[in-house]
Amino acid sequence: MKLSVIGCGYLGAVHAAAMASIGHEVVGIDVDQRKIDSLSRGEAPFFEPGLQEILTETIASGRLRFTTDPAAAKGSKVHFIGVGTPQQKDGHAADLTYVNTAVNSLIPHLAEGDIVAGKSTVPVGTAAGLAERIVPTGATLVWNPEFLREGYAVQDTIDPDRLVAGVPAGPEGERATETLREVYHPSVAKGTPFIVTDYATAELVKVSANAFLATKISFINAMAEIAEVTGADVTQLADAIGHDARIGRRFLGAGIGFGGGCLPKDIRAFSARAEELGRGESVAFLREIDEINLRRRDRAVQLVVDGLGGSVYERNVTVLGAAFKPHSDDIRDSPALDVAVRLHGLGAKVTVTDPAAIENARRVHPQLAYVEDRDEALRDADAVILVTEWDEYRRQLPPEHASTLTTGRVIVDGRNGLDPAAWRAAGWTYYGMGRP
């Protein structure tokens, strides 16, 4: 099928390449010439495992191309909208500028029977408004939210755990559903749940999924706060409650909390939208979720200060990680970088290392020192803090080896990824998050 994808960021670029890899003929469209040039050369403009390979393969096959020309969407059967919906600069609501611009640029090129499939995360009610503008062209709008995780985006797109389609009532909606089932034929054939809803439900599925995940993380981080004043160990607690299948162990990783381009801004936009709908109290707890999350960054900074005897001023602190999570170079709202910046603000001589995110981090925080090589970064450190649980830091850094590089023996484990006993045995003072 001929498809267009408007917006070639983390979501759109992966979607375009993944759709081409399952056999569709895809054009990716974005206003950013640099991004388009890079993608056209087959170079992924960001770090995402597996993306490079499918880009190279599908561009070579002729099934995938990229352009800045919105007219290239003409002739496609389905047009995916995959642009960003960041937090507004002066509030917590979502900024829909890019979605509106994308739809406006697409409308002149739509034909009778085309499908416009919204994938961006939007406040509930957005699709109904967009449909009014799209219907006069003879095209049909569907809302088809995306649940991909950065770091696993290719796999999540090609083989998602569920597909959701919000469609209009009646035969038009049925036709659109059929078309989407064809688009996702390999998943549909293998029996992946395909849930057909109205627009509002589809929009809400997406934001409520992210709100739930954020709640789960802040729940365990709240337990970490209680553990800290009682001497309990939150990781054991998480293991124990996680054995209850109704609770589950995943997303109960206590530490410096969630960040990235999705969870933080999505829970804020959800609260703002609920307020507009006169139902602010229904999700008022999300404010607590946000605040618990942000407090954990303070805690991590405080542990470094405590570890260094009450002040980090002019002390060498090595920060292991900059990305908001491993397997990504994304630093949007990264708790890791926030911790590094705060330590720098307290007068520490901060050295940051990360296997993928240094370039992005340097652009936004040029005041920090960056060292690519992990061991070089560790040299002469008075204290070390692990903030992004890359395997290079979590599994492949024996404390005995770290001891040969650093001056001090203070390790703060901001992701509870290390073995406290091993570090202590090697002579280090170990601080975890919600662990004795």
For residue 165, give the 3-state DSSP assignment.
strand
The catalytic site residues sit at 262
Residue nearest to ligand UGA (CB): 253
Burial level of 49, CB count in 10 A (0-12/13-18/19+)? middle
379 binds ligand UGA (CB under 6 A): no
Residues 102-121, mask of contacts with ligand UGA (x by CB under 6 A): -------------------x
251 binds ligand UGA (CB under 6 A): yes
253 binds ligand UGA (CB under 6 A): yes
Tokens for 116, please give them.
């416009």
Query: By C-beta, is 149 or 295 nearer to ligand UGA?
Result: 149
- Phi/psi class of residue 354: alpha, beta or left (left: φ > 0; alpha: ψ in -120 to 50)? beta
423 binds ligand UGA (CB under 6 A): no
Helix intervals (H) in 74-166: 97-106, 126-134, 153-158
- Residue 372, CA distances (Å) to 65, 241, 315 in order: 33, 39, 20
Q: How many CB atoms lie within 10 A of CB 363?
A: 9
Query: By C-beta, is 399 or 414 nearer to ligand UGA?
Result: 414
130 binds ligand UGA (CB under 6 A): no
Query: CA 215, CA 219: separation in Å to the nearest integer?
Result: 6
CB 116 within 8 A of CB 106: yes
- At 189, which amino acid appears? A
- Residue 357, CA distances (Å) to 39, 135, 343 in order: 19, 42, 19
Report 210-249 residues binding ligand UGA (CB under 6 A): 210, 213, 217
Q: How far is the CB of 16 from ligand UGA (least distance, A)?
A: 16
150 binds ligand UGA (CB under 6 A): yes
Segment near ligand UGA (CB under 6 A); pick from 39-47, 101-109, 141-149, 240-248:
141-149
Report 290-349 residues binding ligand UGA (CB under 6 A): 324-325
Q: How far is the CB of 42 from ligand UGA (least distance, A)?
A: 24
259 binds ligand UGA (CB under 6 A): yes
257 binds ligand UGA (CB under 6 A): yes
Residue numbers at the binding site for ligand UGA (CB under 6 A):
121, 146-150, 210, 213, 217, 251-253, 255, 257-260, 262-263, 324-325
